[in-house]
Amino acid sequence: MPELPDVETLARRLRRRLRGRRIRRVRVLTPSTIRHPDPATFSRALRGRRIVGVDRRGKYLLICLRGDLTLAVHLRMTGDFEITDSGAPVHRHTRVLFEMNGFHLRFIDLRRFGHMDLLTPRQLQRLPGLSTLGVEPLGPQFTRIRLREIVRGHRMGLKALLLRQDLIAGIGNLYADEILWQARLHPARATGTLREEQIAALHRIIRRVLDRAVRRLSRYGRAVGVFLDAREREGRCPRCHGPLRTGRIGGRTTFFCPRCQR
C-alpha cells in the first residue's frame, strides 16, 4: 500500500505537470471508484475546471481546483496516476480518465480499492479518514516534544503507535519497520518503557527515514534502503548479520532483528 513517501513523490510529480492546467473532459470507466458525488455529477463538475495545486495529507492526494473544490484521492493498495499522450492505448485497469489539452491523466488501479471524492471545503473537513488524521511527520508541528506527548499518552506497542493514522499521519507497514530497525527498537516494545533519549532518537529517525525515502523515490522510482532490501528478501540483518524474524505485530506482518532491536 502506498505510504507517505509514495504519495508525496506522486504529489510533487503531478504538481509540476498539472498546476494551471484545465480539465477538458472526464471519463469514469469504473463508477465504484467515485464515492461522492455520483459519477455523472462528478464528471460534469470537473469539466472545464482548472487545477490550481496538488497537495498531500497523510496518505491522501489532494488535487485543488478553481472554484473551491478539492478532489481527494486515496490510492489504497494499488492506485496510481500516470500521464500519457492523449492517443496512447487505455490500460485495462484505468478507472478514471481526465482529458487535458494534449495529454491524459489516468487513474490506474489493479485491485479497485482506490477511491475519489469531489468536495467543498466544508465537506473536506468532515471527510472520514481525512478529518481525523494526526500530525504530519515531515511538518513543523512534528517536534520532539509532540512525539513525546504521543508516546507518553498512549500505552501500546511501538509499531502499533506508528501505524495509528490519528496520531501520526502517513506511516505504513514498510516504513514503520525501517524506522524501528534504524532506531534499534523492538516493534512490540511498550511505549511506556522508552527513555527520553530514545524518544529524541526516534523523532530524528522518523524524519530522516521519510525524508530520504521521498528523495530516493523521486530519483530511483522505488524505495531504496539497506533494511528495506533485506526485508524484501527475508534475509539477514544488515547490521549484525543475524536472521530477521517475522511475526504479526499491530495486526501487520512485521520484520525485525531480534538481536539488534530491543
Residue 234: the pLDDT is 73
pLDDT tens track for 111-150? 999 999 999 999 999 999 999 999 999 999 999 999 999 9
Residues 67, 23: contact at Cβ < 8 Å? no
Residues 110, 78: contact at Cβ < 8 Å? yes
Share of residues in the chain with pLDDT > 90 (%): 90
pLDDT tens track for 65-106? 999 999 999 999 999 999 999 999 999 999 999 999 999 999
Q: Compute the distance between CA of residue 171 and CA of residue 2 in angstroms, rounded to an integer.
A: 10
* pLDDT of 10 over the 70 cut: yes
pLDDT tens track for 34-57? 999 999 999 999 999 999 999 999
Q: Is 20 exposed, middle or buried (0-12, 13-18, 19+ CB in 10 A)?
A: exposed
**Contact partners, residue 71, CB within 8 Å, separation at least 6:** 46, 62, 63, 65, 116, 117, 118, 119
What is the DSSP code (8-state) at residue 188? T
Half-sphere exposure of residue 53: CA atoms within 13 angstroms, side-chain side? 8
What fold characterizes domain 144-256?
A: Helicase, Ruva Protein; domain 3 (1.10.8)
Residue 225: the pLDDT is 67
pLDDT tens track for 217-236? 987 677 666 677 777 777 88
Residue 106: the pLDDT is 99
Residues with active-site annotation: 2-3, 59, 252
pLDDT tens track for 151-177? 999 999 999 999 999 999 999 999 999
**Contact partners, residue 72, CB within 8 Å, separation at least 6:** 60, 61, 62, 116, 117, 118, 119, 124, 127, 130
pLDDT tens track for 171-219? 999 999 999 999 999 999 999 999 999 999 999 999 999 999 999 898 7
Per DSSP bridges, beta strands 34-36 and 25-28 are unpaired
Residue 22's closest CA among 46, 44, 55? 46
Could you tell me the three cell numbers for 230?
Answer: 533485506
Residue 165: the pLDDT is 98
Residue 69: the pLDDT is 99
Residue 230: the pLDDT is 74
What fold characterizes domain 4-125?
A: N-terminal domain of MutM-like DNA repair proteins (3.20.190)
Where in the chain are the domains? 4-125, 144-256
Could you tell me the three cell numbers for 109?
Answer: 488501479
